[in-house]
Structure 1
Amino acid sequence: MPLPPSQPRKHLHTRHVECHGFEREDGLFDIEGRMTDIKTYDIDNQDRGGQIKAGEPIHNMSIRLTMDLDFNIHGVEAVIDDSPFNICPSIASRLKMLEGKQIKPGWNRMLKELFAGSQGCTHLTELLGPIATTAFQATGTARRKREGNSSRPAAAGRLINSCHALSQSSEVVQRFWPDSYQPETGDSER
């Protein structure tokens, strides 16, 4: 169902985030993400020849994480093709600090610690969030095959209570992980 109609308005900005997951021939996985920010009007910008024209990306950046099925990061590539300041692309190589790290609970906290303030790029750090969820989605089938069950969703432990649909009292948990299901015991809709 689409959003309900809005009040009359003027389109100003589009942020586009796109992520892709690839299985490599060597058994590793490449997870790639790209983010663009585009205005519908010209903006003044000294570092880009005086102006960034409407429709030209203010930000255009990409990241590739190479990882295994345990979410261990083996390689990182990051590029900033368009930015509002000439200095921006020089921070991209700092993401190499992720090599040897693992996507796991606490991922966002770790990113904030590694790339806080002047030690990183806000936009590249933001892009790593959807890249991590894409990694989880892209490797699901391979992880289930490794666990010997290609039809059942991933192990319950890390999923139970991670969202509304996966509440320990939901019909989804009752269907897929009956051992983890716990019916509601009281009136929680007050």
Structure 2
Amino acid sequence: MPLSQPTVARKPMHNRSIQVHSFEREDGLWDIEAELIDTKSYDFNRNDGGIRPAGFAFHHMHVRITIDDTFQILEAEAAYDSAPFDGRCTEIAPVYQDLVGMNLLKSFRQQVKERFGTTSGCTHVSELTSVLPTVAIQSMSGRRRKDPNKTAKKPFMLGGCHAWRLDGPVTKEFYPQWYQGPTSEVQETVEAKSGNE
């Protein structure tokens, strides 16, 4: 369902587009590529005195990471197509190789903030990295659901959002052994699920 219609007249100003694509590689690893593009809906003055036309990207950044099945980052790269201060911005790109060694599921966003915060990184590239953990999880979700040992360890997503809350109907249906509703109801759910398998 879309947002409701605005009730006050307005004009477009700023546009941000973020796209992320993941790839399963032949060597068993995974690549995730993220892209951020900022444009304005009006012409504006450039720092060099020129005019930046409406719709022309003034931020256009890319990040690629390579991860293994444990979500460990093995390779990382940042690149720029456009930045407001050209080379002064883009010279920071090589430091994002320091993403290597981080794990997307272990305080990743906090580590990015600590390593690349303020003058140690690029605000927009660092912001772009924030989408990587959930995209990685979605990329591997089909494979993980087929894992016959999925019940041996509590699935990572349980308790992570409203739908996957431990006392909710989704957890009750798909992972009754981890469901935390009333005790009698939990036992009935587990027994019912076991009887259907």
TM-score interval (norm. to shorter): 0.7 to 0.9
Aligned to 1:126: 127
Distance in 2, matches of 1:178 and 1:88, equals 50
SS for the counterpart of 2:81 is: strand
CA RMSD of aligned residues (A): 2.1
Which protein, 1 or 2, shows the higher relative CO under an 8 Å CA cutoff with sep ≥ 6?
1
Segments of 5+ residues of structure 1 without an aligned counterpart are 186-190
Does 2:95 match 1:97?
Answer: no
| Matching of residues 14-163 of structure 1 within 5 Å | 14-47=15-48, 50-86=50-86, 87-145=88-146, 147-148=147-148, 156-163=154-161
SS for the counterpart of 1:139 is: helix
Does 2:179 match 1:178?
Answer: no
Task: State how many pairs are aligned.
Answer: 181
Q: Structure 1 counterpart of 2:134, which letter?
A: T
Q: Structure 1 counterpart of 2:26, which letter?
A: E
Which segments of structure 1 move beyond 6 Å, counting only runs of 4 or more? none
Give me the identity figure in percent.
38
C-alpha contact (below 8 Å) 1:31/1:131 kept by paired residues: yes
Alpha-carbon shift at residue 43 of structure 1 (Å): 1.5
Distance in 1, matches of 2:56 and 2:132, equals 24
Using a 3 Å threshold, how does the CA distance of structure 1 residues 139 and 157 change in structure 2: closer, same or farther? closer
C-alpha contact (below 8 Å) 1:81/1:89 kept by paired residues: no
Q: Which whole-Å deviations, capped at 9, do the CAs of 1:9-58 have from their partners, x for residues lacking one?
A: 111111000001101111111000000001011121124x6222111001
Q: Which has the higher helix share?
A: 2
SS for the counterpart of 2:167 is: coil
Aligned to 1:188: none
Q: Which whole-Å deviations, capped at 9, do the CAs of 1:103-139 have from their partners, x for residues lacking one?
A: 1131111000000100001100111111221111111
C-alpha contact (below 8 Å) 2:102/2:108 kept by paired residues: no
C-alpha contact (below 8 Å) 2:41/2:54 kept by paired residues: yes
TM-score after normalising by structure 1: 0.88
TM-score after normalising by structure 2: 0.85
Larger radius of gyration: 2
